[in-house]
Structure 1
Amino acid sequence: MEEEEEESKQKRKNEEELEEKDKNQYKTLNSSSGFMALEGLGAYKSPQLEQLSQKSSGRVSYLNWTSEIEMSSWNNPTDLEEYSLPSTNPYGNYTVVDTVPKEILHMVDAHWYQFPPMNPLWYGLLMLFMIVMGFLSVAGNFVVIWVFMNTKSLRSPANLLVVNLAFSDFLMMFLMFPPMVITCYWRTWVLGAFFCELYAFFGSLFGCVSIWSMVWITLDRYNVIVKGVSAEPLSSKGALLRIAGTWILTLGWCLPPFFGWNRYVPEGNMTACGTDYLNETALSRSYLYVYSVFVYFIPLFVTIYSYFFIVKAVASHEKTMRDQAKKMGVKSLRNEESQKTSAECRLAKVAMMTVTLWFIAWTPYLAINWAGMLNKSIVTPIFSIWGSVFAKANAVYNPIVYAISHPKYRTALEKKLPCLACNGDNDNVSETASTSTTAAAEKTENA
Structure 2
Amino acid sequence: MKMRGYTSNEIPEDFWIPIALDTKNITSLSPYLVPQDHLGSTGLFYSLSAFMLFLSVAGTAINVLTIVCTIQYKKLRSHLNYILVNLAVANLIVSSMGSSTCFICFAFRYMILGPVGCKVEGFTATLGGMVSLWSLAVIAVERWLVVCKPLGNFSFQPNHAIGLCALTWVFALFAAVPPLVGWSRYIPEGMQCACGPDWYTTNNKFNNESFVMFLFCFCFAVPFTTIVFCYSQLLFAVKAVAKAQAESVSTQKAEREVTRMVVVMVLGFLVCYMPYASFALWVMNNRGQEFDLRLATIPSALSKASTVYNPVIYVLLNKQFRSCMKQMLGMSGAGDEESTSQSTTEVSKVEPA
TM-score interval for Structure 1 and Structure 2 normalised by the shorter chain = 0.7 to 0.9
Deviation at 1:233, TM superposition (A): 2.1
SS of the residue corresponding to residue 196 of structure 2 reads strand
* 1:101 paired residue among 25, 32, 36: 32
SS of the residue corresponding to residue 280 of structure 1 reads coil
SS of the residue corresponding to residue 116 of structure 1 reads helix
* 1:412 paired residue among 298, 303, 324: 324
Asked whether the 8 Å contact 2:79–2:157 carries over to 1, the reply is yes
Deviation at 1:101, TM superposition (A): 3.2
Deviation at 1:400, TM superposition (A): 2.2
Asked whether the 8 Å contact 1:189–1:272 carries over to 2, the reply is yes
Deviation at 1:39, TM superposition (A): 12
User: Do the aligned partners of residues 243 and 402 (structure 1) sit closer, same or farther apart at CA in structure 2, a change above 3 Å counting?
Assistant: closer
Deviation at 1:149, TM superposition (A): 2.2
1:50-65 correspondence to structure 2 within 5 Å: none
Distance in 2, Cα, partners of 1:428 & 1:408:
10
Asked whether the 8 Å contact 2:93–2:128 carries over to 1, the reply is yes
Asked whether the 8 Å contact 2:228–2:266 carries over to 1, the reply is no
Which moves more between the two structures, 261-270 or 135-144? 261-270
* 1:244 paired residue among 158, 161, 166: 166
User: Do the aligned partners of residues 197 and 351 (structure 1) sit closer, same or farther apart at CA in structure 2, a change above 3 Å counting?
Assistant: farther
Task: Please say if 1:272 is aligned against 2:203.
Answer: no
1:62 aligned partner: none
1:173 aligned partner: 95
Task: Please say if 1:197 is aligned against 2:114.
Answer: no
Deviation at 1:350, TM superposition (A): 3.9
Task: Please say if 1:289 is aligned against 2:213.
Answer: yes
* 1:130 paired residue among 52, 60, 63: 52
Asked whether the 8 Å contact 2:199–2:209 carries over to 1, the reply is yes
User: Do the aligned partners of residues 158 and 36 (structure 1) sit closer, same or farther apart at CA in structure 2, a change above 3 Å counting?
Assistant: closer
Provide the TM-score with structure 1 as the length reference: 0.66
Distance in 2, Cα, partners of 1:348 & 1:434:
14
Task: Please say if 1:380 is aligned against 2:311.
Answer: no
Distance in 1, Cα, partners of 2:199 & 2:346:
47
Distance in 1, Cα, partners of 2:5 & 2:348:
58
Q: Which structure exhibits the higher relative contact order, with contacts defined as CA atoms closer than 8 Å and separated by 6 or more residues?
A: 2
Deviation at 1:257, TM superposition (A): 1.2
Asked whether the 8 Å contact 1:154–1:438 carries over to 2, the reply is no
1:359 aligned partner: 270
Distance in 2, Cα, partners of 1:429 & 1:241:
29
Deviation at 1:310, TM superposition (A): 1.2
Which residue type is aligned with residue 361 of structure 1?
Answer: C
Asked whether the 8 Å contact 1:221–1:348 carries over to 2, the reply is no
Distance in 1, Cα, partners of 2:160 & 2:103:
39
CA RMSD of aligned residues (A): 3.7
SS of the residue corresponding to residue 312 of structure 2 reads helix
Deviation at 1:403, TM superposition (A): 5.2
Which residue type is aligned with residue 146 of structure 1?
Answer: V
Kindly report structure 1 stretches of 4+ aligned residues shifted beyond 6 Å.
Answer: 35-41, 427-430
* 1:117 paired residue among 10, 31, 39: 39
Deviation at 1:418, TM superposition (A): 3.1
Structure showing the higher helix proportion among its residues: 1
1:60-98 deviation line (CA, Å, top 9, x unaligned): xxxxxx9xxxxxxxxxxxxxxxxxxxxxx8x348x9x73
Deviation at 1:249, TM superposition (A): 2.4
1:185 aligned partner: 107
Which residue type is aligned with residue 281 of structure 2?
Answer: W
The percent of aligned pairs where both chains have the same amino acid is 24
Asked whether the 8 Å contact 1:217–1:351 carries over to 2, the reply is no
1:149 aligned partner: 71
SS of the residue corresponding to residue 56 of structure 2 reads helix
Asked whether the 8 Å contact 1:222–1:306 carries over to 2, the reply is yes
User: Do the aligned partners of residues 141 and 347 (structure 1) sit closer, same or farther apart at CA in structure 2, a change above 3 Å counting?
Assistant: farther
User: Do the aligned partners of residues 350 and 165 (structure 1) sit closer, same or farther apart at CA in structure 2, a change above 3 Å counting?
Assistant: farther
Asked whether the 8 Å contact 1:263–1:275 carries over to 2, the reply is yes
Q: Which has the larger radius of gyration?
A: 1
Which residue type is aligned with residue 367 of structure 1?
Answer: S
Distance in 1, Cα, partners of 2:148 & 2:342:
22
1:281-308 deviation line (CA, Å, top 9, x unaligned): 4632011101111111011111111122
Distance in 2, Cα, partners of 1:250 & 1:39:
30
* 1:309 paired residue among 228, 233, 237: 233
1:161 aligned partner: 83
Which residue type is aligned with residue 407 of structure 1?
Answer: K
Deviation at 1:351, TM superposition (A): 6.4
Deviation at 1:191, TM superposition (A): 0.6
Asked whether the 8 Å contact 1:407–1:431 carries over to 2, the reply is no
1:49 aligned partner: none
Asked whether the 8 Å contact 2:235–2:262 carries over to 1, the reply is no
Asked whether the 8 Å contact 1:344–1:437 carries over to 2, the reply is no
